[in-house]
Amino acid sequence: MSRPPIFITVEGIEGVGKSTHMNFIAERLQARGRSVIQTREPGGTALGEGIRALLLDRAHAGMNADAELLLIFAARAQHVEKVIRPSLAAGNDVLCDRFTDATYAYQGGGRGVGLDRIAVLESFVQRTLRPHLTLLLDAPAGIACARARHRSESDRFEAEDLAFFDRVRAAYLQRSAREPGRFRIVDATQPLDAVRRQIADLVQRMIL
Ligand code: Z5A
C-alpha cells in the first residue's frame, strides 16, 4: 500500500543548494509514483509572494524584528490554508523550499527573537501541521555564502554578515539534534553530483 501524502521541507542557510536540488527531489518522488506540489516560503501564494518582496527589499533595511516575524507568519497563514493543507488533503506530497524551521533559525538564531514567541505563532498559524520530513542541507557559512554571492545584488538577508549565518546554521543544527526522527542532514560541502547522490538515497529510503 502506498504511503499517505508527505509534507517535506528543504532547509539550510543561503547558498547550500536548496533551489538547485528542488526539481531533482520532486523528480525522485515522481519516479516513485508520487504526485508532488512544489512550493516555497516566504511565498507560495500571490499574497505570500508580495510579502516576500517586502521582506527581501533592502529599502526596508531597518525592519523591526517583530514586524519581520509577523510578516513571515502572515505569508505562512495564507500558504498553509490555500496551498499546503488542500494539496495534502487531495493526496499530493508537498515539497516546500523553507518553512518554519527557517523562522527558528533566522529570526530565532539570527535575530535573537525568543523561541517561545515563535512557538506561539507556529501553533496559532499551523495548529498541528508540521513537516513529516526535513532535508537540512548543511555547509559552513563561509562556503555557502561564497557560492550565493557570485550572483547579482544581494537582498536584505544576503546583506547580513557571516556571523549572522553562523548563528543561523547553529540554530538549524540544534533543531536537527532535537528532532533526529524528522531531520536528515545532507553534507552540502560536497560537489553537486555527490550531494545529489546523498539526496537520491535519502528520498529512496524515506518513501520505502
Ligand atoms: N527567511 C526567513 O528569514 N525566515 C523564514 O521563516 C523563511 C525565510 C521561510 C529568502 O529565502 C530569505 O527568506 C532567506 C531567509 C529568509 N534569505 N536568506 N539568506 P530563499 O530560500 O529564497 O533565499 P536563499 O536561501 O538566499 O536562496 P539561495 O541563496 O538561492 O540559496 P540556495 O537555494 O540554498 O542555493 P542555490 O541557489 O541552489 O545555490 C547557490 C549557488 O551555489 C548556485 O550557483 C549553485 O549552482 C551553487 N551550488 C549549489 N550547490 C553546490 C555544490 N554542492 N557545489 C558547488 N556549487 C553549488
What is the full DSSP assignment across the chain? Answer: -PPPP-EEEEE-STTSSHHHHHHHHHHHHHHTT--EEEEESS-SSHHHHHHHHHHH-GGGTT--HHHHHHHHHHHHHHHIIIIIHHHHHTT-EEEEES-HHHIIIIIIIIT---HHHHHHHHHHHHTT---SEEEEEE--HHHHHHHHTTSSS--TTTTS-HHHHHHHHHHHHHHHHH-TTTEEEEETTS-HHHHHHHHHHHHHHHT-
**Using 50, 70 and 90 to split pLDDT, how confident is the model at 151?**
confident
* Predicted pLDDT at 3: 80
Mean confidence (pLDDT) of the chain: 95
Q: CA 200, CA 23: separation in Å to the nearest integer?
A: 12
Counting ligand 1 atoms within 8 A of each CB, the residue from 21, 157, 175 with the most, and so the one to mutate, is 157
Which of 82, 74, 88, 76 is CA-nearest to residue 8?
88
| Ligand 1 pocket, residues with Cβ under 6 angstroms | 12, 14-20, 41-42, 72, 97-98, 102-103, 106-107, 147-148, 157-158, 188, 190-192, 195
How many other C-beta atoms are found inside a 10 Å radius of the C-beta of residue 23?
A: 11
Counting ligand 1 atoms within 8 A of each CB, the residue from 106, 136, 164, 198 with the most, and so the one to mutate, is 106
The 10s digit of each residue's pLDDT in 170-181 is 999 999 999 999
* Predicted pLDDT at 207: 76
The 10s digit of each residue's pLDDT in 47-90 is 999 999 999 999 999 999 999 999 999 999 999 999 999 999 99
pLDDT at 37 over 50: yes
With contact defined as beta carbons under 8 Å apart, do 19 and 31 qualify? Answer: no
Nearest residue (CA) to ligand 1, atom 26 = 14
Residue 150 CA, closest ligand 1 atom number: 44
* Predicted pLDDT at 208: 65
The full set of domains in the chain, from first to last, is 7-40+92-207 (3.40.50.300)
Residue 194 CA, closest ligand 1 atom number: 53
* Predicted pLDDT at 1: 46
Check whether the bond before 42 is cis (ω within 30° of 0): yes
Answering whether pTM is above 0.85, one says yes
